[in-house]
Amino acid sequence: MTKPYLALGLAGPHLVELTESSALLSRWDALPVAFSVLGIDRIDGSLPASVTLASSAAGATLAGATKNGRFLIAAAPQRDHPYNIARRVVSLAHLSRGRSGLLIGVRDVYAPEGPRDAPAWGGAGLGGGAPLNAQTAYDAAFAVRALEQGWPYDSIIGNRETGILVESNRIVHVDLDNTFSIAGPLNAPAPATGASVIAWHAATVADLPPGNADGPIDLILGNAGSVPVVALGAEPPAGRFAGILLRPSLEQSVGELLDVAERWLGDGFASIPPGGTLRNALDLTEPPPLAPTLRAAFPAPKPHVSL
């Protein structure tokens, strides 16, 4: 039987503790776990802690200060339109060289709700808004995946002879019309390392994503998924799982979490070599490209004319 991998779940106070300590960062970076969730308490139904960091800001810090550690940032469309979530996901993928991904949630416990009739992202005061439910979160994940793929990385050719830097006709409108109406494209190219991993949290079967197997969700965390969550101090559950996500309480420290993780890794859990992309570490297939029939956002570039 294949050994399960180990993952870590960090809440707000743990992010503060980790980013303040170079010693803890070094230990975290060297640990052969599959990934860590930065700010899991944002989307798993927990009560908000007294201190926290923005998940994507913590991700940017870790991407720049470490070389090996892989992570998922936690985000929900409660405060952010999926276009903004996509920009953060793509930026982190470039910064981390593919070590990062997204854990999409229905609600963000640290975010205010928008208007009663449109609580998702309507609080930004930009108009619109959407219901705050699983379908909205799923559609946001769908949008993030499409937007990330809308500007192919290999369209950047830098041809000095022709003067064509980008094959701009390959940048497409994603043309989404579900919960969100989005034409795109995103103002950043896809990561060189491929599409970012998108995960979903499901504590029960009722929490599973509303879409199908061909949708944007690569990985399901929680007791209804392939990677159940285990409280720090509890024993690993019986059964066959792809992985186990070890989650400390707010009163437990990052040091305590790393101590137990090191012990579990030496006692039967699979060691995932540090470094490399998150998708490769989890042995996840690359999602299919966007349909070739999507509208080009720009005309084909023409070579420069020598004077």
Give per-residue pLDDT as tens, 186-242: 999 999 999 999 999 999 999 999 987 779 999 999 999 999 999 999 998 888 999
CA distance 5 to 146: 29
* CA separation for the pair 122, 118 (Å, rounded): 6
DSSP strand E in the chain: where?
5-10, 35-38, 71-75, 100-104, 156-159, 164-166, 176-177, 181-182, 197-201, 219-221, 229-231, 243-247
Give the pLDDT mean for 46-54.
96
Which alpha helices (H) appear in the chain, and where do they start and end?
12-20, 22-30, 55-65, 82-96, 134-149, 254-265, 278-281
pLDDT classification of 79: cutoffs 50, 70, 90:
confident
Q: Is the pLDDT of residue 125 over 90?
A: no
